[in-house]
Amino acid sequence: MKLKTGASAAILTLVLGAATAVAQAPPPSPQKPSPPAATEAPKTPVEGQILVQDANTVLAKELLGQTVYAPDKARIGTIGDLILSKDAKAVEGFVIGVGGFLGIGEKNVALKMDRLRMGQDERGGLQLTMDIKKEELSNAPSFKSKKDQDAERQAAERARSQPQSPAPGGGPKR
């Protein structure tokens, strides 16, 4: 009888030990169902979709923030924005920040895209140049975006609509 009790205790110890090990093990991760390979429809491009970038194109994010150089390799400024047509058919121009130091005193000048030359630098990266000197752009008028123009117009309208305060002293001077 002792033999049975001893064997039962040993089996019970093994079962409890295994149960403790199972309780401490991380829960199994849920299995993702594998997609049915044979029944999935092939992907079909939509009209006008571009599947791969052409070697003769540049993404806008490659231009934004890019430094533009003069023919003598002098740094002119950086491209801050692109001007797109509302019909989405053309990139009309680019906005370049010129002058100033570390962004202070910098002004924006916009130019047509045909003024920008894209080439490769000595490492094969994109290099932008223009046939304009930095001094010419520093002396050019600043670019005013539509948002800037609207803000100026609204400020002028507010100034006109506010009543003029009388001169100090109460009345016209003689």
Q: What is the pLDDT of residues 33-92, one digit of tens each?
A: 666 556 788 889 899 999 999 988 899 999 999 999 998 889 999 999 999 999 999 999
123-157 burial, b if ≥16 CB within 10 A, otherwise e? eeeebbbbebebeebeeeeebeeeeeeeeeeeeee
- CA 129/CA 91 separation, integer angstroms: 18
Domains of the chain: 60-146 (2.30.30.240)
- CA 76/CA 69 separation, integer angstroms: 5
* pLDDT-above-70 percentage for the chain: 71
- CA 96/CA 81 separation, integer angstroms: 7
pLDDT band per the 50, 70, 90 thresholds, residue 4 = very low
pLDDT for 165 equals 63
Contact between residue 93 and residue 85 where contact means Cβ atoms under 8 Å apart: no
Q: Is the dihedral of CA 55, 59, 62, 64 positive or negative?
A: positive
Which helix (H) or strand (E) covers residue 8, if one does?
helix 2-24
Task: For residue 135, give both structure tokens.
Answer: 């001094």
pLDDT digits (tens, 9 = 90+) for 97-113: 998 776 678 899 999 99
Q: Which residue has the higher pLDDT, 6 or 146?
A: 146
